[in-house]
């Protein structure tokens, strides 16, 4: 049995979960999310709990069991408290600036990068060197933060670039001077 999959999910107050065919819809104070569940996975909603089960012990069903439970849990957590990722911009002259809903990023290229976030994602520039990405969809928050980070990944010699705030950059020693 999947250790993650067999745990029941408790539905907090203020959150409604509905199941129509294979679609699970979660509605809470921050918004509404939905996902399709694989046909082999059974989802039961009763008494303020959600139980996810699988029909047999095939490898595919074992994989989908824990995955489906985790996706539903992430949706419930997202509609009650938003997900958030923080990016730090490191480098001389590197900065970000809020322009309405979008962000203007200067990171050493000949042109500034103008990033417009997708619907459901909130991007804030708290200081010129820090960007906070928040939203109710965990996957979308992760994808947007990875996209912004990909504009200039941190390099290992000076650590310049865009990094996650909790990321440790492994530094390399540069060339040593000759005689």
Q: Among 2-11, 18-27, 141-150, which is the least confidently predicted range?
A: 2-11
Structural domain contains residue 175: no
Are residues 126 and 96 part of one domain?
Answer: yes
User: Which of residues 64, 80, 96 is at a domain's end?
Assistant: 80
Q: Can you tell me the distance from the alpha carbon of 46 to that of 53, in angstroms, rounded to the nearest whole number?
A: 14
Are residues 93 and 70 part of one domain?
Answer: no
* pLDDT digit string, tens, across residues 13-31: 999 999 999 999 999 999 9
Are residues 46 and 13 part of one domain?
Answer: yes
Are residues 74 and 134 part of one domain?
Answer: no
Instruction: Write the burial class of residue 57 (CB in 10 Å: 0-12 exposed, 13-18 middle, 19+ buried).
Output: exposed
Are residues 135 and 76 part of one domain?
Answer: no
Are residues 88 and 120 part of one domain?
Answer: yes
pLDDT at 1 > cutoff 60: no
pLDDT at 179 > cutoff 70: no
Are residues 39 and 94 part of one domain?
Answer: no
- The predicted pLDDT at position 135 comes to 96
Are residues 88 and 63 part of one domain?
Answer: no
Are residues 89 and 73 part of one domain?
Answer: no
The number of domains in the chain is 2
Share above pLDDT 70 across residues of the chain, in percent, rounded to a whole number: 97
Are residues 94 and 158 part of one domain?
Answer: yes
Structural domain contains residue 170: no
How wide is the angle at C-alpha 117 spanned by C-alphas 148 and 32, nearest 5°? 120
- The predicted pLDDT at position 16 comes to 94
Confidence of residue 175 (pLDDT cuts 50, 70, 90): confident
Domain that holds residue 18: 9-80
Integer distance in angstroms from the first to the last C-alpha of the chain? 64
Are residues 158 and 139 part of one domain?
Answer: yes
Structural domain contains residue 173: no
- The predicted pLDDT at position 13 comes to 92
Structural domain contains residue 53: yes
- The predicted pLDDT at position 2 comes to 59
CATH number at residue 54: 3.90.930.12
Buried b (16+ CB within 10 A) or exposed e, 101-138: eebebbbeeeeeeebebeeebebebeeeeebebbbbbb
* DSSP line for 26-52: EE-SS-EEEEE--TT-EEEEETTEEEE
Are residues 92 and 43 part of one domain?
Answer: no
User: Which of residues 59, 80, 101 is at a domain's end?
Assistant: 80
- The predicted pLDDT at position 4 comes to 83
Reported pTM: 0.88
* pLDDT digit string, tens, across residues 86-115: 999 999 999 999 999 999 999 999 999 999
User: Which of residues 28, 48, 80 is at a domain's end?
Assistant: 80
Distance of CA 60 to the CA centre of its chain: 25
Structural domain contains residue 137: yes
* pLDDT digit string, tens, across residues 61-85: 999 999 999 999 999 999 999 999 9
């Amino acid at each position: 049995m999947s250790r993650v999959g067999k745990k029941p999910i408790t539905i907090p107050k203020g959150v409604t979960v509905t199941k129509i065919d294979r679609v699970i819809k979660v509605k809470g104070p921050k918004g509404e999310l939905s996902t399709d569940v694989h046909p082999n996975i059974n989802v039961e909603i009763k008494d303020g709990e959600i139980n996810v089960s699988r029909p047999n012990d095939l490898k595919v069903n074992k994989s989908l069991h824990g995955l489906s439970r985790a996706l539903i849990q992430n949706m419930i957590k997202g509609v009650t408290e938003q997900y958030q990722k923080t990016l730090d911009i490191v480098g001389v002259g590197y900065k970000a600036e809020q322009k309405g809903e979008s962000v203007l990023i200067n990171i050493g290229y000949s042109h500034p990068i103008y990033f417009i976030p997708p619907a459901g994602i909130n991007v804030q520039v708290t200081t010129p060197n820090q960007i906070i990405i928040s939203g109710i969809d965990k996957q979308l928050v992760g994808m947007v933060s990875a996209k912004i980070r990909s504009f200039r990944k941190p390099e290992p010699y000076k650590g310049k670039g865009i990094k996650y705030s909790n990321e440790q950059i492994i530094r390399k020693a540069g060339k040593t001077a000759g005689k």
